[in-house]
Structure 1
């Protein structure tokens, strides 16, 4: 069995994920990858379809999310304190 791929972006990662969750799961199964990790940018919107596709292909789904830096803006003097 091949090592798990833990940083796959699904189509719910706008401008990052290109393949459907069904294609991702099928390719993982073809290559003998036992676990596939979803790591979308900013959310878990595709978690349910990803889980269903992985289970249908016999691949264990692993869930994660990529979080970027927070952008904070001081709106008044108290915000600078």
Structure 2
């Protein structure tokens, strides 16, 4: 189990335009399982996964942090 104060601040999901294979629901479930309080989704040049990320994070009890890698 990771330290509960660790928060991953740069994750590209399946919605990232160039790279990223992480599925949003799996990301949130895994983050909660590791005991992390939050996770940031920073897809490349878009916010396509924003609503899906919000719902998945809330469902898993994880605080979502929104960003975009510009």
Output the aligned Cα RMSD: 1.0
Number of residues of Structure 1 aligned to a counterpart in Structure 2: 67
Q: TM-score, normalised by structure 1?
A: 0.77
Unaligned runs of 5+ in 1: 68-81
Classify 1:19/1:27 alpha carbon distance in 2 versus 1 (closer, same or farther; 3 Å). same
Rg larger in 1 or in 2?
1
CA distance in 2, matches of 1:46, 1:12: 6
Tell whether 2:68 aligns with 1:52. Answer: no
1:15-63, Cα deviation, whole Å (9 max, x unpaired): 4221211100011001011101010000111100011111100000000
Residues 13 and 43 in structure 2, CA contact (< 8 A), matched pair in contact too? yes
TM alignment of 1:1-81, pairs within 5 A:
1-67=4-70
Residues 2 and 32 in structure 1, CA contact (< 8 A), matched pair in contact too? no
CA distance in 1, matches of 2:43, 2:65: 12
Structure of greater relative contact order (alpha carbons < 8 Å, 6+ residues apart): 2
Unaligned runs of 5+ in 2: none
Q: TM-score, normalised by structure 2?
A: 0.88
